[in-house]
Amino acid sequence: MKKITKIDELPKSQPSKSKLRVAAYARVSTDSDDQLVSLKAQRVHYENYIKSNPEWEFAGLYYDEGISGTKKEKRPELLRMIRDCESNRIDFIITKSISRFARNTMDCLELVRQLLNIGVTICFEKENLNTGDMEGELMLSILSGFAAEESASISQNMTWSISKKFQNGSFIIGSPPYGYANVNGEMVIVPEEAEVVKRIFSECLSGKGGSVIAKGLNRDKIPARRGNHWSTGTVIDMLRNEKYKGDALFQKTYTDNNYNRRPNKGEKDQFYCKNHHEPIVSKEVFSKAQKLITQRAKIKAVNKKAYQNRYVLSGKIICGECGSKFRRKRNYSAGRSYIAWSCIGHIEDKNSCSMLFIRDGEIKATFATMMNKLAYSRKVILGPLYDSISKTQEECDLERIDAIDKRMEQLTEERNTLIGLMTKGFLEPALFSKERNVLDSEIKNLTTEKTNLVMSFTSGTSQADEVKAILEHVSKDKFDGNYTDEAFEKYVENIIVNSRDELIFELKCGLSLKERVVR
C-alpha cells in the first residue's frame, strides 16, 4: 500500500550576513607578569575595537602566551585560528605587528599565502599593511624584509651558553662528520667509514683531485652519509675538515637574523680545540693534504680569474638546489646556437644536483619584468618602503651613537681612575697595563663604530640609499622597461635559481623578489 507523507512549508532562507567576521591574534613570548599584563591589555583592546565597528562581527580572540614566535608549530592558538579560517569562520584578522604574527620569514610568507588562497586577509597594525591591498606576489616578497627584525633577542641566552662551551671545549658536536658517531656526547670512530676517509686522504696525496676521488667512490658504490652520491664539494670539505686529525674548530658557521646558516668569516668568535677526540688520519697526512689542495686552488684561481667578470651575470647566478654558481655556455638546438647558464654542480655530478640550464635571454627578460613591476608599484611599494627604512635606520643609528658616547665617557672616567690609582702606587705596573689595554681596546672599537655610523649618513651605501636609487631609476621619464647591463649590475647582488621556472632576485638594497621565468 502506498504511503504518502505531507511536506510542511520549508523555512525561508536567512539573508546572508553582510558583516565582516573579524578575529584578532595576540602573543607574548614569555610568561612573566609584565608580559601577561600586556597580553590582557591587548585582549581587551581588540575585543572592544572589533565590537565597536558596526560593519564587523566579532569572530574570536586567539592568543598564545609564554611561547616563542620563532616557529608556528609551537603556537597552538595560531594553528587553531588557521583551522577556523579554513572552516570559513573568519574573514579578516587583525594583529599588532608582523613580528608578533611570525618571526620566521618562511612561516610568515607561507601563512599569508595560505590565508590569501582561502580569502582571508590580515592587517598588521604597526606596519600599516593589509594583505588584501598587496600588489600580488611582489609585495608578499617584500614582506620578508620585515619579518625577522626582532628575532635576535630570542636566542641571546642560548648563544651565550654555547659560546662558553666553545671556550672551555665542552661543546658536544651533535652531528659529527662522516667517519664519526656521537656516543654519549663523545665523538667515536665508525671503523667502516674511517676506512673511506683514509682512502680519500690517500688518493689526494697520490695526486687525485676531488672530482676524480668522488667519481671513484660512486663507481665503487660506496654509500655516502644518508645514502647520497659523492660530489666534488663533499670530498674537498672532508679533506679540509680538521676533525679528521683529532682537532675541532667551533663556530665555523652561524645563524643570521633570518635563520639562515652562513659561513663565519669573522662575524663571530671562533675557538680551536686541539686533541678534542681520536683522529682518523695523522696531523702530517692532514697537513700535506692542505698544501696540495691550496696549490690546486691557486692554479684554478688563475684560470678562473680570466673568466670571471667577463659578463655582467658572471658569478651572480646561484643554484637553489646545491648552492653552486652557474657557468656561461653556448648550447645548440636544431642547428642554432644560444647562450645559456648551467649549474657547475650539475655539470660535475648530475646525480648530486638535478638543476638544468636556463637561457641567458630568459634571465634578462625576467629581470626586466621585475623592474617593470617595481616601476608600476613604486608609489605603493618603493616610496613607503624608502620612508620606513630611512626613518628607522636614522633613529637606530642616532640611538647607537648616543649609547656609544655615554659608554666612551664611562670608559674615559675608568681610565682616569686607573691612572690615578697607578700614580698613587695602589696598582702593580703589570696589572695596570693589562687593565689599561682592555679599556683602550674597547675605546678604539667604539670609536671605529661611531665613525662608520656617522659616515653612513653621507656615504650613500645604506639600505635606504639603495632603495632610493632604484626608486629614482624606475621613476625616470626615460625608463622604458627594457633590460640593460648597467641596471642589472647596479641593483642586483645575486640571482637564486629555484627552478627553471622561478628566480629570486636578491637586490643590493636588501629586497629579495621572486619572479616566474619569462619565456
Residue-wise pLDDT tens digits, 7-36: 444 444 444 457 899 999 987 655 555 555
User: What's the pLDDT score for residue 438?
Assistant: 85
Residue 442 vs residue 141, higher pLDDT: 442
Residue 269 vs residue 342, higher pLDDT: 342
Model confidence at 83: pLDDT above 80 = yes
Share of the chain above pLDDT 70, in %: 73
415 sits in which H/E element? helix 382-423
Q: DSSP labels for 113-172?
A: HHHHHTT-EEEETTTTEEGGGS-HHHHHHHHTTTTTTT-GGGGHHHHHHHHHHHHHT---
Q: Point out which residues pair with 499 in neighbouring strands.
A: 502
What does the mean pLDDT of the chain come to? 77
Mean pLDDT, to the nearest integer, of 99-111? 70
211-225, 289-303, 466-480: lowest mean pLDDT where? 289-303
* Residue type present at position 459: S
Model confidence at 90: pLDDT above 90 = yes
Share of the chain above pLDDT 90, in %: 20
Radius of gyration (Cα) for the chain, nearest Å? 30
User: What's the pLDDT score for residue 467?
Assistant: 78
> For 423-471, how does the pLDDT look when each residue is reduced to its tens digit (9 = 90+)?
777 777 788 788 888 888 888 888 877 776 665 544 434 567 777 888 8
Kind of pairing, strands 492-499 and 317-319? parallel
pTM for the structure as a whole: 0.39
Predicted confidence band of residue 193 (pLDDT cuts 50, 70, 90): very high
Place of cell 674597547: 442
> For 232-281, how does the pLDDT look when each residue is reduced to its tens digit (9 = 90+)?
888 988 998 888 998 887 777 766 655 566 777 767 777 777 888 899 99
DSSP code at position 30: S
Question: Cβ distance 80 to 109 under 8 Å?
Answer: no
Could you give all domains of the chain from N- to C-terminal order, each with its CATH number?
Answer: 20-150 (3.40.50.1390), 161-298 (3.90.1750.20), 311-519 (no CATH)
User: CA nearest 71: which of 101, 96, 104, 30?
Assistant: 104
Angle of CA points 205, 208, 214, to nearest 5°? 115
Mean pLDDT, to the nearest integer, of 180-188? 84
Question: In which order are the strands placed within the sheet that holds 492-499?
Answer: 317-319, 492-499, 502-507, 512-516
Angle of the 283-307 helix axis to the 191-205 helix axis, nearest 10: 60
